[in-house]
Structures are given as C-alpha cells and as structure tokens.
Amino acid sequence: MAKEGGSEMKKKKTKKSTETYKIYLFKVLKQVHPDIGISGKAMGIMNSFINDIFEKLATESSRLARYNKKPTITSREIQTAVRLVLPGELSKHAVSEGTKAVTKFTSS
C-alpha cells in the first residue's frame, strides 16, 4: 500500500463495553459471608456464569415471545424462561425473588 501525501488517517478502536457484575457479586458475598473473600479468578468465573445465565434467559424469553406472536418481552416471558432454564428449587426461589422485586419496583 502506497502512502499518498503522508497523511494517513488511523481509525480509533472503539472499546466494546462489557457488563460486569463484580461489584454486585461482592456485595452479596459480604451480606452472606462477611468474613470471606474471593479471588480475582473466581470473581471472573462468577461474572461469566451470570452473563451466561442472563444470555440463556434472554434467548428463551425472546423465543417465547416469538412463539406467542408478541412483539414485547414481559415479566411473564421472563418468569416462564426462568422456569425452563433453571432447575427445580432454584427456579422457585428465582421466581419468588423476581416477583418480589417487580412488586417493589411497581409500588415505588
């Protein structure tokens, strides 16, 4: 590639923002076990786990909305996705905590 006039414009790389849940994971850890710490590697694994679960829930709730010919994902699709993605007792706890959070959000 030949340079012309010596003024070659460089494209600035835009950094893709990635959501991390490290702060929130740490807060929950301190609520449950105030005396226990967590390594950076373990925190990275937990962050990947959270991102993976959210991705699965988003995919499943999107699929449910499409099946029902609905243009919008509502709390109902999210709740059904949670029941399908998470196993047994874990889904029951997740649904009850989610319902509690939605109720708190709508009442404020």
Q: Which residues of the chain have pLDDT under 50?
A: none
Does residue 63 contact residue 85 with C-beta atoms inside 8 Å? no
pTM attached to this predicted model: 0.76
Q: Distances in Å between the alpha carbon of 69 and those of 1, 63, 66, 76?
A: 52, 10, 5, 14
Q: Provide the 8-state DSSP code for 4.
A: S
Q: What CATH code is assigned to 22-107?
A: 1.10.20.10
Q: Report the pLDDT value the prediction gives residue 14, as an integer from 0 to 100.
A: 77
| pLDDT for the residue numbered 2 | 54
Return d(Cα 50, Cα 79) in angstroms, integer: 17
